[in-house]
Amino acid sequence: YPDNTPIGYKNSINQSISLLQSMHDNEIIKDAKPEFNIILEANRDRLKNENII
């Protein structure tokens, strides 16, 4: 993470990654990948706009 990244962002990102990994491991999201991509892209854009990444 970049310097001065708020802990809330780190926790949110880490929780999202963990959730997606566990869902992927359980093959729950095989047919839902496009929807998750939209969510991830929206979050990435939001973080970029706030100069987090």
In tens, the pLDDT along 11-52 reads: 888 888 888 777 666 665 556 556 667 777 777 777 777 776
3 has pLDDT over 80: yes
Q: Is the residue at 31 inside a domain?
A: yes
Enumerate the H helices of 1-53 as residue ranges: 7-25, 33-49
State residue 50's pLDDT score: 72
Q: Is the residue at 26 inside a domain?
A: yes
Count up the domains in the chain and report the number.
1
Domain that holds residue 22: 7-49
Q: Is the residue at 40 inside a domain?
A: yes
pTM greater than the 0.75 cutoff: no
Q: Is the residue at 1 inside a domain?
A: no
Residues in the chain: 53
State residue 43's pLDDT score: 76
Q: Is the residue at 2 inside a domain?
A: no
Q: Are 23 and 29 in contact (CB under 8 A)?
A: yes
State residue 35's pLDDT score: 64
State residue 45's pLDDT score: 76
Q: Is the residue at 41 inside a domain?
A: yes
